[in-house]
Amino acid sequence: MLWPLSTRHKRLFRLTSARWQRRTIFVLGGIGVGAAAVALAQLADLAQHAFGLLLAESRYAVLAVTPLGFMLSAYLTVRLFPNAQGSGIPQAIAARHLTDQTARANLVSIRIAVGKIILTLFGLLCGGSVGREGPTVQVGASIMFALGRVSPRRQPGLILAGAAAGVAAAFNTPLAGIVFGIEEMSRAFETRTSSLIIAAVIAAGLTSLALAGNYAYFGSSAMTLARGADWLAVPACGVVGGLAGGLFSRVVIAMARGFRNPLGAAIKSHPLWFAFACGLAVAICGLVSGDTIYGTGYAQVKAALDHSAPLPQDFGILKLLATTFAAISGVPGGIFSPSLAVGAGIGSNIASFFHDAPLGAIMLLGMVSYFAGVVQAPITAFVIVTEMTDNHGMVVPLMAAALIAHATSRMICEEGIYHALAKGFIERATGPNEKES
């Protein structure tokens, strides 16, 4: 016969059991997020390859395929998967601030995750300048939300962990995933929550490693700024990248909020035709660029870094325009990878003024500067670029460029794009007379 437990021992047993249950949910969720991230990455590559086959048949087919694809994607988003539009990161941020379970489920749920995956792949299949990493964040938050339905009190932490695990698994950058969760998603450090985030990130990272192997997203790079004059590229990239990133964010935020004029009313009344027009604009950018700006931009940037070859002079601006049109069209798709590609194009242009400086190093400065200008999360920006290139010799210049870009961007756009867009989702969920908690 077992010795009867005292009241104190029973309370301790319940507390220990609850702790292990909570840790198990975070770990299992991390495994699920890692598997989903790998699946989405591989399917995204297949979608872009299929689009490449279309271009090989007729590069002018995009004048029909891309705008009609955007229109269909916008229709499916509105009718079947509302709140799946855009990056997905603002929805995850908004879900953390909401307290009503139904309101949260409208932003992060398995249904939304399925729609996000399907329509992001469809966007890449049509040639949209979109990425898969932002959608992976919303998918990760949705998986964690579904696992934690039994404990609504833990939902904010679970959504945060799912988002961080999504970034870690999508880029194979575990440290960046943790930093992203703390700096961008929560904007605070909480010891208890952060330890569980780390557990989820580790689980997602190990799952990604098991399924896809260990790799650096853009390969390994040992390029550094060698001479004193090379360091002038740091403020140059920081200012230009920050200005461009801030301008992009301001345009996207303004379009999301709408305009109180006839043009704004027309866009709101005819969202499908607006998506068609945006798709047509993306197709025109693609034709002008020589078919280089479609998709994530990963292949073009990786090739340029691997061979120390400059990107086309118009790549940065055309990729920026194509990404802007995709972002304001209302179709699902992220801006992470396209932003890094835009930054690489900016860095390649700036490198033409520094003839003796390593091209790859200045491209990295452009990438971190533009990305920091868009998201206004400088620590995440330089950590993620450092991990993606396995280049720790560039940590200090990348850090400096990110901080300069962040300060420059704030002169144009007062708030980072994700949090500004999240406010719109919160307001629509709570109503005009309520406040998020």
Max avg pLDDT among 15-19, 34-38, 392-396: 34-38
Name the DSSP letter for residue 182. I
Residue-wise pLDDT tens digits, 39-68: 999 999 999 999 999 999 999 999 999 999
On whether the CB atoms of residues 104 and 268 are closer than 8 A, the answer is no
Q: To the nearest 5 percent, what fractions of the chain are helix, strand and coil?
A: 75, 0, 25
DSSP string, 302-341: HHHHHHT-PPPTTHHHHHHHHHHHHHHTT-B-BSHHHHHH
Mean pLDDT of 308-314: 92
Mean pLDDT of 286-297: 95
Give, rounded to a whole angstrom, the gap between the first and last alpha carbons of the chain: 50
306-309 long-range contacts, Cβ below 8 Å, gap at least 24?
Answer: 306/219, 308/223, 308/358, 308/359, 308/360, 309/359
Q: Is the pLDDT of residue 345 over 70?
A: yes
Lowest mean pLDDT among 22-26, 229-233, 309-313: 22-26
Q: Is the pLDDT of residue 7 over 70?
A: no
pTM above 0.85, yes or no: yes
With vertex at residue 418, the alpha carbon angle to CA 417 and CA 424, rounded to the nearest 5 degrees, is 95
The mean pLDDT value of the chain amounts to 87
Residue-wise pLDDT tens digits, 102-140: 888 899 999 999 999 999 999 999 999 999 988 999 999
Lowest mean pLDDT among 41-50, 167-176, 230-239, 351-360: 167-176
Q: What backbone torsions phi and psi does residue 106 show, to the nearest 5 degrees?
A: -70, -15
With vertex at residue 224, the alpha carbon angle to CA 177 and CA 294, rounded to the nearest 5 degrees, is 55
- pLDDT number for residue 436: 42
The helix or strand, by DSSP H or E, that contains position 278, with its residue range, turns out to be helix 271-289
Q: Is the pLDDT of residue 2 over 50?
A: no
At 435, the pLDDT band (50, 70, 90 cuts) reads: very low
Residue-wise pLDDT tens digits, 139-175: 999 999 888 765 656 677 888 888 888 888 888 888 8
At 392, the pLDDT band (50, 70, 90 cuts) reads: confident
On whether the CB atoms of residues 335 and 327 are closer than 8 A, the answer is yes
- The one-letter amino acid code at 16 reads T
Q: Go through the domains of the chain in sequence order and give each one's CATH number.
A: 21-212 (1.10.3080.10), 228-424 (1.10.3080.10)
